[in-house]
Amino acid sequence: MATIFGIDYTLFGLYVTCVFQAMILSFFLVKDNKAFRLAETIVISLSVSNLFVLATRSIYYNGLIPLISNPGTNWHILGAMVVGSMVFGAFWRAHRWTFRWPIAITAGVGLAVAIRAGIDSNIINQIKALSIPLVGGRWSPVDNIVTIVFALGIVTIFIMTKERTGTVGTILARVQDFGRILLMVVIGSGFANQVMSRFVSYGGRLGYFLKALGILP
């Protein structure tokens, strides 16, 4: 069985994990301190080193090997590697302008894909989801009515921004108030869900720590 300093390899890893957890949590439980900074530096350094190794392996196996083995078919990889290497121009003042091109291409393609996906998921699919009969639903006949009323009430907050007077203005104001209440309920429930998920995560980490100390079986 593999050991480190006479301690079982798995058990040693468990102790190291618990020590780093305690060092990182000391920032939130006490204040900023040297233990937290040390753990932060080590974790960031290891993460960057791991990403560098993975990126190098990806360039080698997905770039160089296919390009060398079959350059006629994989010629486009050369263009991607040239554009990617332009990032290193940031280290030379005279060629610093070159690193803007790969960043611009990456940001442009990423934003285009995100906008396209956002329109499809946040607008088109939401409209399709509201294209339902008034009567019906999963649990009761009024489910669809409730869904449509709630959706329209929240939408009025953002589209009915012009102040109106008279009876129509009063009705729209009440509808907007109703929409604000619904929006606060949605935001509050989402926040509460996030808080509970964090408590569950911290509970799991605490249980892991107590098991390492032998307090829990």
**Using one digit for the tens of pLDDT, what is the confidence trace for 146-182?**
888 888 888 888 876 667 677 777 887 888 888 888 8
- Reported as a pLDDT band with limits 50, 70 and 90, residue 84 is confident
How confident is the model over 12-65, as pLDDT tens digits?
777 788 888 888 888 887 888 899 999 999 999 999 999 999 988 988 898 889
Q: How many other C-beta atoms can be found within 10 angstroms of the C-beta atom of residue 155?
A: 13
Question: pLDDT value at position 161?
Answer: 66
Q: Is pTM beyond 0.75 here?
A: no
Question: pLDDT value at position 151?
Answer: 83
Locate tokens 């249980």: which residue? 207
In whole angstroms, give the CA distance from residue 40 to residue 46: 10
- pLDDT-above-70 percentage for the chain: 93
Contact 147, 130 (CB under 8 A): yes
Write down the H helix ranges in 100-217: 100-119, 125-130, 143-159, 166-212
- For the cut 80, the answer to whether the pLDDT of residue 9 exceeds it is no
Question: pLDDT value at position 209?
Answer: 72
Question: pLDDT value at position 49?
Answer: 95
Question: pLDDT value at position 132?
Answer: 78
Question: pLDDT value at position 73?
Answer: 86
Closest of 136, 117, 134 to residue 125, by C-alpha: 117
- Over residues 175-203, the mean pLDDT reads 87
Which residues are CB-neighbours of 4 under 8 A, at least 6 positions away? 12
Mean pLDDT (the chain, rounded): 83
Q: Between 213 and 76, where is the model more confident?
A: 76
Environment class of 54 (CB within 10 Å of its CB; exposed 0-12, middle 13-18, buried 19+): exposed
